[in-house]
Amino acid sequence: MSSLALIGVLAVSAATTFAQVAGGLRLRTPRHHGNGAPVAFASDAKDATDQRLVTYKEAVGNFLQGHDAIQSVANARVCTGITGTVSVTNHQVHHIPAGANPLPGTQTVWQAADLKSEDGTTIGVSSGSCVQLSPDTVWSQYGKYINCIVTLSFTEDTTSYDIGSLMLQGEYDASQTTTSELAVTGGTGDYSQASGSSTLSFNPDGGTYGEWNYALSGIKCSN
C-alpha cells in the first residue's frame, strides 16, 4: 500500500471513530424529579461516553503514529549505491565569448554530451556550465582554473545504473594533467539523496576529443 493510501485509511478510521464519539456526546435535556431536582444520567451512559472518549483518543494516537511512521519511511529513503567511473565525451563544448586567450569570467557550456560507463556503453548524457576564474589558460584556448556545475543524467534503464541524475559542483584544474575533486550536491530519481565527492580527471585517449572521467566511489547515500 502506498504512503498516500495508508494515510487515507488512517484518516478515515479516525474520522469514523470521531463520528461515533460525537454521536454518543449529544447534548441531552436534563429530566427533573417532581421536586425540581435534576435526574443524574445513568452510570452506564456515562461509562459508555467515557469509553467512546478513550476510543477516540486511541484512534487519534494511532493516526499520528501511523503518520510519523510513514514520514520516517519517506525520510529513510536513500539513494541507490553507485560506484565505478563514468566518462563524458569532450564535445559540444562552447566558450562564451569565443576566441583565443579567454579572460576571467568567460563561460564554458556543454549540453547532451555522451555519458558512458567504463565498458563504453552509453548510459545517459551530461550538461554543465563553468566560469573561468583566472587569466591562466590551456593552450590559449580555455581557462585553466574554472568553477563548474555539472549534471550527470542516467537515462538508460537497460544498464547497471539506475534512472536519475547526479549534480556536482566545484573548482577544478582543466589543464588535463591533474585530478580535481567535485562536491556531489544532490541528485534526482534513484540518486535523490546523494552526497560526497567525485574525482575528475581527463583521458586524452577517450574518443576523438578525449573525455572527462568522473570516479563515483566517493559518493554516498544519506538520510
Residues 87-143 have pLDDT tens digits of 998 878 899 999 999 999 999 999 889 999 988 899 999 999 999 999 999 989 889
The strand pairing partners of 142, in sequence order, are 138
Residues 80 and 191: beta-carbon distance below 8 Å? yes
Q: How far is the C-alpha of 46 from the C-alpha of 114, rounded, in Å? A: 74
- As a dihedral over the C-alpha atoms of residue 176, residue 181, residue 182, residue 186, rounded to 10 degrees, the angle is 140
CATH 2.40.480.10 fits 85-221, yes or no: yes
Q: At residue 36, does pLDDT exceed 50?
A: yes
Q: How far is the C-alpha of 113 from the C-alpha of 130, rounded, in Å? A: 15
Closest CA to 100 of 135, 125, 66: 135
User: Residue 6 to residues 15, 65, 96, 134: CA-CA distances in angstroms?
Assistant: 14, 12, 52, 56
Phi/psi of residue 69, nearest 5 degrees: -65, -40
Q: How far is the C-alpha of 37 from the C-alpha of 86, rounded, in Å? A: 88
If one compares 111 and 55, the residue with the highest pLDDT of the two is 111
Q: At residue 73, does pLDDT exceed 50?
A: no
Q: 168 is written with which cell numbers?
A: 556536482
Q: How far is the C-alpha of 102 from the C-alpha of 140, rounded, in Å? A: 7
Mean pLDDT of 192-206: 89
- Quickly state the pLDDT bin for 192 (edges 50, 70, 90): confident
Strands 93-96 and 85-89, sheet pairing? unpaired
Q: What percent of the chain has pLDDT over 70?
A: 63
Residues 6+ apart with CB under 8 A from 118: 84, 85, 86, 87
Residues 6+ apart with CB under 8 A from 160: 117
